[in-house]
Structure 1
């Protein structure tokens, strides 16, 4: 097989992967917009600037503004310090 054909096949594979990721991103954005609309109703009804769930630790305050690595800053096997850390499920992959 000629190198130019291999390169063309590789580019087609990358283009197909890019298209699939783009469509997945559009679907996720629509789902996120629906959730955001519900959160806006709750925060405006309660008179809050943002939906604050808990104030114990900075990774339990709000899932949108917390860092993903904050619970593991002590070390990866650390025991959970705060009870509200049990409210959040691991992200679905």
Structure 2
């Protein structure tokens, strides 16, 4: 006896929904268990008066993308390849919106 394709599909969707529910419960538990650590890190950052997040430690244009130029990644040559792995993980900054004066 063969199963209908629609029954296989519904079984797969139900199985994936069950996995998704398990992942959501697990994520909620992890967030609740990490709350004291996050609060301690926030207190430490406030005490040390840290202002910006250091995303990567390799180069200036990945350390703080808020204060770098858009061409700083290509300072060696406009056609040079990215030689820091973190540069491939960062999104380029949003294009500025031009407004007429």
Normalised by the length of structure 2, the TM-score is: 0.45
Select the structure of larger CA radius of gyration: 2
Normalised by the length of structure 1, the TM-score is: 0.48
